[in-house]
Each structure stands twice: as C-alpha cells, then as structure tokens.
Structure 1
Amino acid sequence: MALSYRRPCRGTMIKRERRRRRPEMEMPIPMHVVMEEILTRLPAKSLMRFKCVSKLWSSLISSSYFRDRFLTVPTRQRPHLFMSLQDVNDHSSSVTLSLVPEANSDTSFVVDHGLTIPRMRGGYICQSLRGFMCYDLRKKPRIFNPATRQLVTLPSAFNRSTTEGTVSYYFGHDPVTDRYKVVCSVGVRLTGTQEVRSHHRVFVLKPEGGGSWRKANPLHPPDFIPHIAARGGVCIDGVIYYLGWTADDICMLVSFGVRSHDFKMIQVPRAEELPPPAEMKNVCLVEYGGKVTVVDQTSLRDKGRIDLWALEDAANQKWSSERLVLKPSQLDFVRNIEFVVKGTSRNGKVFLIPRDLVSPFQIICYDLQSNHMIKMDIKGVPDHWFSKHKSTVEVMLIDHSETLMSLMNT
C-alpha cells in the first residue's frame, strides 16, 4: 500500500512552531553584582557619566558605601602617574603633568595634555591620599580630585610674618570618623642662636563646607620637640607621619593622630648616619607592609644598597631594619646617574628621579618587596624644562588612585 504525504498548510506550521518555542525568561543581572563586580571596576570618568542613566544609578554611585567600595576593589585601569615640575626661581611657571602608559607598554609613559591640570599651575604636590592630591600653591594648601575635578582651596594657616620659615602641609584621614584633615607645620631656625621654633595648626574639612584653622597644642618634651619639617608625609590608619629635624640636626619621626590631635616624636635609629636636612633628597617615608618606613638611598650609587627602617611598635619605639642590595645585573642602572627619591606608589614602590633633568628622561621604579628595578621612559615633557639651569628644576612623581568622594562644597 502506498504511503501518501500531505504538506501541512502554512498556518498549521506557524502554530506548531509557536508551541515548540518556550517563552524565554529574562534574567536581569542582580543589582549587587552590577555594583560589586562591574561598576567598581570601571574608571571614575565613566561612572560620572553613568550617574545620568537614572536617579537610582545616581543614588547608588553617589552613596558612601559605593565610594568606599570603589577605593578598595582593584580596577583593570592601567596605572596613572602625575609629575610635578617645580621651577624654584619662578613658581608661577611650575606645572603638574598627567602621564599615561603608551599603548602596549608598562614601562613607557607619555604626557597626556588633555588630562593636565591647569588649575594646579604653580603648585607642588605634597601628598596623595585615597584619590585626592594635596598640593601647595603660594604657601596655601589645596585639595584636588582629578576624577571629579573638584578643587578645595583652604585659607592661609598663618599670617605672612609667621610663614617666613619652612612651611609643610600634610593630609590625613581618620577611618573611624571618616574625617579628612590638613596639618600645617612651620619651622624656623633663629639666626645666631640656631634655636629651632615650630608652629602647627589643623584644618578639619567638613562635608557641608566651611571650616577654619585651629591651633594644635603639642605636648612638652620628650613627646614633642620643636623641629623643621620635611616635605612628604604618609597617613596610615588615622595617623600622619613625617620627618623632622631638631636644632641638633637629629632626625625624628613625627606622628600626628588625625582624631586625637596628639603629636609624638620618635628618634629614627642610626639617625647620626642619616643626611642632614640639606640632603633630605636621599630620604623619604613610605608605607611598606602596612608600616611607616624610612627609606635611605644615600649609599645606592656607591655601594648599591638601600637601607630601610620600619616602625614596629610606636608606643615602645621599636624598629626593624632591612638592607636591600641590588642585583649585579642592575648596578649599571645607578652607577652613572645620580638619583634622588622623589615619589612613591600605592604598593610600596619608590620612584628614583635623575638629579639632573636631561632628555631623554628616564626614571627608575624600585619594588622594595621584590628588590627589583625597572627603567621607565617619560615622553612628552616640554623641551624648555630641559634647557633650564639644573638647580632650578625639582621633580615630584606620584602613582595615583581614583575616588568619587566629595570633600566639601566649594
């Protein structure tokens, strides 16, 4: 018996096809995944645009929880450096340059003139903290957020007659109260007697704006000794640290509690071997392994070594020391060029800058933990900086993180 086949009509086929198809279930990405795993890994510039998506997104990105989370989650964004070129004879011509990696390179950075900060012209970077940059412009501190372009200008801490000495600013954050504060130290060495006097004030940045300088009341010796403060400080767990020299040229580690406003001073071990304040370029402070650490590279060029002193117990003034000796293959990096410590990164690396600014401009990034050096090319620095007299140019380099935080209304 022959089998016959009857082709179904088009309408029947469409009905069968619809029955076979199951309705697709939409699986939206949970909001906590969007916040925790996606948005926190984007650059701040993108997040500022995404605030326009909706009121919900704007509220989430602006929340204190998201801002804190954004600071702690590692991003896939390539490293970003800022370099401050300071003309000590003409501060108005000083400039802060933004450096970004060249394509497919981690050891070559080029000046990005589109990101260079014109409002920082003439300023000098003092410190980088939690995505903010604290810099000094005409002896007045300013706090700048490169991600949001917010600029906070603080009034002068002292009158003109008081600021005839060495003026240094330090930026700190208290994780308990989530408050930011700026400390100003002015040190003066009296002519003739060589006596040193120092004055200190604190500015509390309020979220709603405003604020004023308050006089800090240091304790009496031995907890506090008048000193001349060195530029460059670090803030670790709510404590600001910086180096200072007494009238006897003794190097002291000065600590300031951001919440308690207490000053304390600890003598740096083997301080007699540390260079005097005039040679401070060879010494800096870094956060190394979560501890404030003194880095001295005085013997780097001649002996190929760097000495570290880490503060283990501030209450009992206990230090630990470590001596790093360069690998033989890296000794040639430092033998023919004199470097100075001018900047640190977020992960304990030290930037060594040539004392003489020459073209082509190269710096050394020294990883203290692995005892490894790499050379980094800096391209795009304006030619006129290389033609200046060698003693007129001072360089500061920082590795910068991003924050969405707003300090106060400006």
Structure 2
Amino acid sequence: MCYSFISKPRIYNPATRQLVTLSAPIKSQTEEDAYGYYFGYDPVIDQYNVLWSTGVYVKHLGEIRSEHRVFVLKAGREGSWKKASPTAPDFLPHIPAKRGMCIDGVIYYMGWTGRYNLVLVSFQIRSRDFKMIQVPRRDGDEVLLRMKNVSLIEYGGKVTIIDQTNLREKGMLDLWAVEDAGNKNSWSRKTMVLQSSQLHLVINNINYIQHESNDMTKIEIKGIPDHWFSIDKSTVNVMLMDQSESLVYLET
C-alpha cells in the first residue's frame, strides 16, 4: 500500500506489517502542491518503484511545468530520489491527478496538459520511458472534468478509466479501457447499468462491483479516524498492489 502523509510517501506491507516512510523528493514541497506518488512493481526485474510527479501552471508565461523523480526500493538498503527526464517526442508537461495504478511493470496515472485536456500518463519501470494517451471525451465532446468521480482500475488486464458521474442518479457506470497501451492507444467503452434494487447501495457507501456478473457488494471500512473526513478532505487515496507480489524488507 502506498499513500502520502505530511507530503511524504509511506509504504505499508500488510503481509509483514512493515511501514516505511520515505523522504520527500524536494524540501520545499507542501500539501498544497499539485503532486502525486505512484507505486509500481516490475516482475521481470523484481523491482519496486515510487514515482513522484508534480506540476504547476505558470501564469505569467501561460504554460505548465512539471518535474518527475523515481525512488527505487531495495531490500535492506537505503535509496534516494533520482530525476526522471522524459524523452518521448509526444510528452507534455502536466499537472498530475491523484489517481494511479500499475499493470505488468507500467505505472499509470492521469494528468492535465491544459485546462480542458486530460491525458493518461504511463511510466515503464524497466526502461524509464514516459508515454501519454489522450483521454476520451464523454458523449463525444465533454471532457471528464469531475475528477472526484473518475478513477483508474484494471479490467481484463487493461488499464481502465471508471467514470461514476451518472452512478447515483442514473445507476450507470462507464468503463473506458485502453485496447493497446503500447501502440494504437485506442479506447473501448462499456456501460454498466445497475438494477433498480441496487441503487440504494451507491449512496454514501463504498462498493465492490463484479463487472462480469454486473453484481455489487457493499463494503464497510472501519478504523479510519473521523478527522480524516472533513469538508476539505473527504477522500482517502490509497494505491494497492497485487497479493502475488514478492515480500521485501526495507530500511526505514
């Protein structure tokens, strides 16, 4: 599990119950900065990485600037943040969104390259390559602006955007899957419609949805302090890794 606390990334292994707090990439970083930590694992080289991305809009220049650094987690050894320099010709500076996941050694997260332009950013752990994929627009022209209703999931082995904008009122859930993240970068859309008897489950609850059977189960998470849920901070963002990953003991 990877999450941030007081601007620092924290890694927790539920199997070993080990908690490691990493140093912040830069000393001037604050909670108000537009940044994100993204956790990933490459099974080929057996390596865990934490990717840090930050972006800012420079008003007097009318442009976005971003910076990216990588922390390699090594068993029994201390690490440090290394600057990552994107070389892809289609790469654009962006403001990262606090959503992320990892599939087959590739970290994915979303970011803004402009006020109305949202992209899916990929970072390959092995090669350190960045790529960008234009996010599709809802109903042909409306960009997915309400980021609080949008998340990344793995669906059928593919990175997928799950859009819950119409879930509570219409019982509709949109899934946008990347069909070929390496080459064609095409998207496919699937809309799930809940039954009327399921609609009460999507009001102020956390739910687990089984996509194949279109079934839904209510989940209750206990032990989260009440002060974490305020008007300004109503969401807890946690990035989880698969159960099959190897166990690593790290230096604190």
TM-score by length of 1: 0.55
* CA gap 1:237/1:381 in 2 versus in 1, 3 angstroms: closer
TM superposition shift of 1:234: 1.0
Matched-pair identity in %: 52
TM superposition shift of 1:294: 0.6
Q: Deviations over 1:153-175 (max 9, x none)?
A: 32221230698631200111111
Which residue of structure 2 lines up, in the alignment, with residue 155 of structure 1? Answer: 23
* CA gap 1:366/1:397 in 2 versus in 1, 3 angstroms: farther
Which residue of structure 2 lines up, in the alignment, with residue 328 of structure 1? Answer: 196
Match of residue 364, structure 1, among 203, 207, 226: 207
* CA gap 1:312/1:191 in 2 versus in 1, 3 angstroms: same
Q: Which has the higher helix share?
A: 1
- Find the residue that maps to 2:114 and give its secondary structure: coil
| Contact 1:240–1:258, Cα closer than 8 Å, also in 2 | yes
Which residue of structure 1 lines up, in the alignment, with residue 235 of structure 2? Answer: 394
**2:218 is the alignment partner of 1:375:** yes
Which residue of structure 1 lines up, in the alignment, with residue 169 of structure 2? Answer: 302
* CA gap 1:378/1:264 in 2 versus in 1, 3 angstroms: closer
For the residues of structure 2 that align with 1:270 and 1:368, how far apart are their CA atoms? 22
The amino acid across from 1:405 in the alignment is L
Which residue of structure 2 lines up, in the alignment, with residue 256 of structure 1? Answer: 123
TM superposition shift of 1:286: 0.3
TM superposition shift of 1:332: 3.8
Which residue of structure 2 lines up, in the alignment, with residue 232 of structure 1? Answer: 99
| Contact 1:238–1:258, Cα closer than 8 Å, also in 2 | yes
- Find the residue that maps to 2:147 and give its secondary structure: helix
* CA gap 1:168/1:372 in 2 versus in 1, 3 angstroms: same
- Find the residue that maps to 1:393 and give its secondary structure: coil
Q: Number of aligned residue pairs: give it.
A: 248
The amino acid across from 1:408 in the alignment is L
* CA gap 1:198/1:275 in 2 versus in 1, 3 angstroms: same
Which residue of structure 2 lines up, in the alignment, with residue 212 of structure 1? Answer: 80
The amino acid across from 1:265 in the alignment is M
Structure 2 regions of 5+ residues with no counterpart? none
Is 399-408 or 229-238 further displaced after alignment? 399-408
For the residues of structure 2 that align with 1:265 and 1:200, how far apart are their CA atoms? 14
* CA gap 1:225/1:381 in 2 versus in 1, 3 angstroms: closer
For the residues of structure 1 that align with 2:240 and 2:80, how far apart are their CA atoms? 30
For the residues of structure 2 that align with 1:299 and 1:396, how far apart are their CA atoms? 21
Match of residue 42, structure 2, among 149, 174, 179: 174
For the residues of structure 1 that align with 2:5 and 2:191, how far apart are their CA atoms? 37
Match of residue 144, structure 2, among 258, 271, 275: 275
TM superposition shift of 1:178: 0.3
Structure 1 regions of 5+ residues with no counterpart? 1-132, 338-353, 355-361
Match of residue 33, structure 2, among 155, 161, 165: 165
Which residue of structure 1 lines up, in the alignment, with residue 247 of structure 2? Answer: 405
* CA gap 1:238/1:366 in 2 versus in 1, 3 angstroms: same
The amino acid across from 1:406 in the alignment is V
- Find the residue that maps to 1:219 and give its secondary structure: coil
1:3-402 aligned within 5 A: 133-160=1-28, 165-222=33-90, 224-270=91-137, 272-276=141-145, 279-314=146-181, 315-334=183-202, 337=203, 354=204, 362-378=205-221, 385=227, 389-396=230-237, 401=243
For the pair shown, the structure with the greater C-alpha radius of gyration is: 1
Which residue of structure 2 lines up, in the alignment, with residue 123 of structure 1? Answer: none
The amino acid across from 1:165 in the alignment is D
For the residues of structure 2 that align with 1:163 and 1:217, how far apart are their CA atoms? 24
For the residues of structure 2 that align with 1:242 and 1:398, how far apart are their CA atoms? 11
- Find the residue that maps to 2:179 and give its secondary structure: strand
* CA gap 1:179/1:407 in 2 versus in 1, 3 angstroms: farther
For the residues of structure 2 that align with 1:215 and 1:187, how far apart are their CA atoms? 14
For the residues of structure 2 that align with 1:297 and 1:196, how far apart are their CA atoms? 28
The amino acid across from 2:235 in the alignment is E
The amino acid across from 2:248 in the alignment is S
For the residues of structure 2 that align with 1:221 and 1:302, how far apart are their CA atoms? 42
Is 160-169 or 243-252 further displaced after alignment? 160-169
For the residues of structure 2 that align with 1:390 and 1:236, how far apart are their CA atoms? 33
Q: Deviations over 1:31-62 (max 9, x none)?
A: xxxxxxxxxxxxxxxxxxxxxxxxxxxxxxxx
* CA gap 1:225/1:380 in 2 versus in 1, 3 angstroms: closer
TM-score by length of 2: 0.86
- Find the residue that maps to 1:331 and give its secondary structure: helix
TM superposition shift of 1:291: 0.7
| Contact 1:145–1:403, Cα closer than 8 Å, also in 2 | no
For the residues of structure 1 that align with 2:232 and 2:32, how far apart are their CA atoms? 22
